[in-house]
Structure 1
């Protein structure tokens, strides 16, 4: 199982993403979060076939398509974290932190 922790920022929610390989190219995604919208994604991502539009163009990614139907804020970093965690679980990427630092004063 691969796991990611996302501290989303202004919304104040911290989420944990757990990805478990259940087949050669299939995974189960579980999101633990106080955010109800993110938790609703669990229903859509209970079984993800990664051979079908997960890692393609962003507009075609099933992860982003499902997220766009459930999440209110397009700046939520969790969909990206889901894809990165899936990559790690499938052996296509090494576990490496992603950091976004925002400074309003340039």
Structure 2
């Protein structure tokens, strides 16, 4: 199982993603978000094929396809966090923190 905590930044919304894979390829997702836009997506985003998400074209995966109608901010870090959860749950990466540091 992989758990990813995503702190959205200036929006102030936090999202927690839990990902499990009983079979290496199919990953079950649980997305819990304070963001009202991600709350619309979390009901639809339940299971993904890790290989299609991680080795396909970015715009063709289920994560981005399902979220794009609801997420008005393209720089939102949540899709990348979900992808990292899928990657770890499927055994395709070791768990490790990521960081986007923004200064002005």
Show structure 2 runs of 5+ residues with no match.
none
TM-score, length-normalised on structure 2?
0.89
Aligned to 1:59: 59
1:1-106 equivalences in 2 (<5 Å): 1-51=1-51, 53-55=52-54, 56-104=56-104
Q: Deviations over 1:25-46 (max 9, x none)?
A: 1111111111121122222221
Q: Deviations over 1:60-97 (max 9, x none)?
A: 22211111122121111000110111000011001111
Q: Deviations over 1:8-51 (max 9, x none)?
A: 10110111111121434111111111112112222222122234
The 8 Å contact of residues 24 and 91 in structure 2, kept in 1 or not, is answered as no
Q: Which has the higher contact order (CA 8 A, sep 6+)?
A: 2
- Stretches (4+) displaced over 3 A: none
Distance 2:41 2:49 in 1: 15
TM-score, length-normalised on structure 1?
0.87
Name the count of aligned residue pairs.
103
Superposition RMSD in Å? 1.4
